[in-house]
Amino acid sequence: MNNRKLVYALIAAALVIALIVLLIRVVSGAVSVVNSGFNAVLGVVVVLALVIIVIWMFAYAKRH
């Protein structure tokens, strides 16, 4: 009877550990997706800023 309780305890511990590992991987994946999205938005903002600067430079050169 004591061995059966030990086996159940080990199985329960293994399931809890597996659940914790799965939760950590899901959270890590979500953070990775958010980080990638932020980098994409930041890249678009930088490209737009550069385009605006170039347009302003040509407009300024045309006036002067």
At 3 the pLDDT is 85
pLDDT digits (tens, 9 = 90+) for 35-59: 999 999 999 999 999 999 999 999 9
Residue 1 has pLDDT above 80, yes or no: no
DSSP letters, 5-34, are HHHHHHHHHHHHHHHHHHHHHHHHHHHHHH
pTM over 0.95: no
Cα radius of gyration (the chain): 28
Band (64; pLDDT cuts 50, 70, 90): confident
pLDDT on residue 55? 97
Place of tokens 């045309």: 62
Instruction: Give how far Cα 19 sits from Cα of 12, 25, 54, Å.
Output: 10, 10, 53
Residues 53, 34, 25: CA angle, nearest 5 degrees? 155
pLDDT band at 18 (very low <50, low <70, confident <90, very high): very high
